[in-house]
Structure 1
Amino acid sequence: MSDLTGKFFWYELMTSDPEAAIRFYGDVAGWTAQPFGGERTDDPYHVVSGSAGPLGGIMRIPAEARDCGMTPWWGGYIGSADVDADARRLAEAGGSVKRAPEDIPGVGRFAVMGDPGGAVFMLLKGSSPDGMDAAPPMANGHVGWHELYSGDFDKDLAFYTSQFGWGRGQAMDMGEMGSYQLFSMSGATGFDEMSGGMMPRPKEMPEPAWLFYFAVPDIDAALEKVKAGGGTVLNGPVEVPGGAWIIQATDPQGAMFALVGMRPAAA
């Protein structure tokens, strides 16, 4: 099993309409979904899987969170060997504890954190001794790229590299938009080993946030499925280094997500 400590490995959609979201992403990203643990409640947590196995979950926004103004949102979990110790350490390093560590019965222990710039992520240590393997690069339906729209670029870059051991890759000059800093969650520095990039939050983003890019085999076909399913394409397709293409979009309930994939060669 892969060592997922310090790496994003689970992705969770909190939404106003789980069933509609399952249908939408099932068509766009090719996911399958099943209730967690086989539970058949009126409102189960659904585990979603891509071509290489489970990758995340979809759940309804809890009433108390909805009442506090939470809107549909994708969040990511970073593996932790000790959630309580990591939460303290990250807070001392300039992060913040948004929700103190607590147990999820049958799942593990988690905490909700903020980085120095304000973007939210979660820590998780599973309760099972059986881990999970990381998906192969660009496996269909799985996260192929992680992007941080940073609220404090210099502090956030130092935070993730020092606290999680992420490697710094190339920094790309984007002119007035600042630098786009490539990073690797494995600590590597080679271009082909990069896991994502971070950049100063553009004015179009209402707040600092992580954005996750789900891999699809055909970016143009996926774009049409987004539109046909009631989603909104915000940007793209745009070609990126390496020959892949990306789009950023919102799903029908309003959660922002992104896709990465190739354009099939012309026959």
Structure 2
Amino acid sequence: MSTTTAQISDTPVKLKTGNFVWHELRTTDDKAAEDFYTHVVGWKAKGSGDPGGMPYTLLCVGDRETAGLMEITPSLSAGGMKAEWVGFVGVDDVDAYAHRLEQAGGKLKFPPQDIPAVGRFASVEDPQGAVFFLFKGSLADAPTPPPEGTPGTVGWNELAANDGESAWPFYSGLFGWKEDSIMDMGPMGAYRIFSNGGNSIGGMMTRDHSKSSAPTWLYYINVGDIDAAAARIQEKQGVILMGPHEVPGPVWIILANDPQGVMFAVVGTRKTAAA
């Protein structure tokens, strides 16, 4: 784990405990990943200017940084870092929340650490092994974020847990998330939609043990027209695993692997009726 993992931005960030405040791709090929995601999502890429010397790419909507990208070095790989998208949850005290997380059965993977002029973070796992980060920014105020649904922002945060029912008390107790509704998915079980004092921000379910090997968070990136996004994914040799598939909203989703094999998801609208 490197301090560059959380090189979130030099843009001031105001955090509310329990909000997802940043998303980051760890990849085996940063240049190829930058080429893929800027094409598929429409992000503009720029360097972070990290004084530590390890490249870190900021992915931007206009002049607003909304995500980050870093390459996994051999030393980071040897330390256990794997290629994946990860999410950062804002808290008002990283050390206190790290302690609370451990008391609730979670695991501290990397202890709280400062990133000068950016903030403080910790890498953690929930009791079932899903990885996420705790983060507190050192800067006080933030510009108005892009409107919900803006292409290039993450529109949904979804946990596929070993057991969704037992995962929920951990997160709701830790962050104060509220259950908005339960959706019956038939043989796939219940899908719990949750919020953090406003509109819904994500969902939680029991993973399909026959198709996935571990519990994980999946992040849905807004892309506008879903069919155009599907074409862009395939143009850059991404692999569509599911979709476009309609979900309540109504909106459409695609689950895919990028060319380096990292799973991601996109969410958008459809201009025409389903084929």
Q: Return the TM-score normalized by structure 1.
A: 0.91
| Contact 1:2/1:134, CA 8 A, preserved across alignment | no
CA offsets 1:15-71 (integer angstroms, 9 cap, x no match): 111111111111110101111137796x52111112572112101113223235543
Supply the distance in 2 between the matched residues of 1:241 and 1:58 (Cα, whole angstroms). Answer: 30
| Contact 2:14/2:140, CA 8 A, preserved across alignment | no
Supply the distance in 2 between the matched residues of 1:176 and 1:241 (Cα, whole angstroms). Answer: 18
Paired residue type of 1:31:
W
Q: How does 1:81-120 map to 2 (within 5 A)?
A: 81-120=92-131
Q: 2:227 matched to 1:216? A: no
CA apart distance, 1:3? 3.9
| Contact 1:51/1:140, CA 8 A, preserved across alignment | no
**2:212 alignment counterpart:** 205
CA apart distance, 1:259? 0.3
CA offsets 1:91-145 (integer angstroms, 9 cap, x no match): 1112111111112233221101111221110011122234454442111110011
- Matched residue pairs, number? 260
Q: How does 1:144-223 map to 2 (within 5 A)?
A: 144-186=155-197, 188=198, 193-203=199-209, 204-223=211-230
Which one of the candidate residues 11, 17, 25 is aligned to 2:23? 11
CA apart distance, 1:152? 2.8
Supply the distance in 2 between the matched residues of 1:216 and 1:21 (Cα, whole angstroms). Answer: 17
Identity %: 45
- Structure 2 SS opposite 1:217: strand
1:133–1:116 CA distance, 2 compared to 1 (3 A): farther
Q: 2:270 matched to 1:263? A: yes
1:254–1:132 CA distance, 2 compared to 1 (3 A): farther
Supply the distance in 2 between the matched residues of 1:261 and 1:2 (Cα, whole angstroms). Answer: 27
**2:6 alignment counterpart:** none
CA apart distance, 1:162? 1.7
- Structure 1 SS opposite 2:49: helix
- Structure 1 SS opposite 2:217: strand
Which one of the candidate residues 237, 249, 253 is aligned to 1:242? 249
1:165–1:263 CA distance, 2 compared to 1 (3 A): same
1:179–1:52 CA distance, 2 compared to 1 (3 A): farther
Deviates more, 1:116-125 or 1:151-160: 151-160
Supply the distance in 1 between the matched residues of 2:196 and 2:242 (Cα, whole angstroms). Answer: 26
| Contact 2:181/2:193, CA 8 A, preserved across alignment | yes
- Gap runs ≥5 in structure 2: 1-12
- Gap runs ≥5 in structure 1: none
CA apart distance, 1:248? 0.3
**1:142 alignment counterpart:** 153
**2:67 alignment counterpart:** 56
| Contact 1:116/1:152, CA 8 A, preserved across alignment | no
Q: Return the TM-score normalized by structure 2.
A: 0.88
Paired residue type of 1:118:
G
Q: 2:49 matched to 1:37? A: yes
1:260–1:126 CA distance, 2 compared to 1 (3 A): same
- Structure 2 SS opposite 1:44: coil
Supply the distance in 2 between the matched residues of 1:131 and 1:81 (Cα, whole angstroms). Answer: 15
- Structure 2 SS opposite 1:37: coil
Deviates more, 1:145-154 or 1:235-244: 145-154
Supply the distance in 2 between the matched residues of 1:92 and 1:40 (Cα, whole angstroms). Answer: 33
Q: How does 1:18-29 map to 2 (within 5 A)?
A: 18-29=30-41
1:174–1:51 CA distance, 2 compared to 1 (3 A): farther
| Contact 2:122/2:133, CA 8 A, preserved across alignment | yes
Supply the distance in 2 between the matched residues of 1:136 and 1:52 (Cα, whole angstroms). Answer: 14
CA apart distance, 1:158? 0.8
1:254–1:69 CA distance, 2 compared to 1 (3 A): farther
CA apart distance, 1:180? 0.5
